[in-house]
Amino acid sequence: MTLALRGEKLTRTFRSAAGDVHACVDIDIEVAEGELVVVRGSSGAGKTTLLNLLGGLDQPTSGRVWIGDVEATALDEDELARVRRERLGFVFQSFGLIPIMSAAENVELPLRIAKTAPAERDRRVAEALRLVGLADHAAQRPGELSGGQQQRVGIARAIAVRPHVLIADEPTGQLDSRTAATVMDLIGDLVHSQGLAAVVSTHDPLLVQRADRVIELHDGRVTSVGGHAPAGPGPADEASGPADASDDAEGPSEDAPHPPRTRAEAREQRHTDG
């Protein structure tokens, strides 16, 4: 097992007029290549703080973070920015797309910032959109896409830089349950097929079933760690590729079946719908 991300004794304390707020307390976490770890907890449990610490977006009050073999907490701001740019991909609840840019231009943006050569940019953008099932929507702007499609663009943007680690903070928080399940299946498929390490925060119990491992947080502390055995893709799933982008264009009707509760059930439902 090759570790892609590791946090050791991570503590983050915020000062306030009412006293200290302990958002994270002595958290140990390891994420291997090809592993999808879900961080679960109610609002205020410390999920976002933990992800920000792991992604180098915030500094711990104490503790250390390694991204691969690099100790991120020992780097200066310039070095840390370079590691984030080269090794990490971020997916946000609010999608974070630029409205005036097309899907392809949004995906291309971090590659421009990294000064990737134009031909290589074009190739990576096309590949990322294909992987999330949006190759035919490259020219559309965010306002012309459904919520699920916009989040797929956000995922494409994150993986276009070919990160070692994918960090997603409540990536399905603005989606209906069926679209959310589809997006989580997509993230899981990318993790396992591309060998990414992924940390995803959620409070949705249905989405937890997609995880390889689940870490439960309460008041900034890890209260339990559990695992699931995700169903591996069969030959039919490998041949089908990502779900068609039209799958999430509309929300579920009143007589729609229940949202899928496992990765295998989600794939079976997509085949049935198709």
What is the per-residue pLDDT across 34-83, written as a single tens digit (0 to 9) for each? 999 999 988 888 999 999 999 999 999 999 999 999 999 999 999 999 99
CATH number of the domain residue 9 falls in: 3.40.50.300
pLDDT at 95: 84
Q: Is the pTM of this model over 0.85?
A: no
Does pLDDT of 106 surpass 60? yes
Quickly list DSSP for 190-208. Answer: HHHHHT-EEEEEE--HHHH
Find tokens 């200290």 and name the residue.
20
Does pLDDT of 107 surpass 60? yes
Distance CA 43, CA 90 (A): 20
What is the domain count for the chain?
1
Mean pLDDT, residues 13-28: 91
Angle subtended by helix axes 103-113 and 118-131, to nearest 10: 130
Domain that holds residue 237: 3-249+256-273
Quickly list DSSP for 220-238. Answer: TEEEEEEE--PPPP-HHHH
CB 77 within 8 A of CB 40: no
Banded model confidence at residue 177, pLDDT cuts 50, 70, 90: confident
Distance CA 181, CA 175 (A): 9
Count other C-beta atoms under 10 Å from residue 79's C-beta.
13
Distance CA 7, CA 117 (A): 34
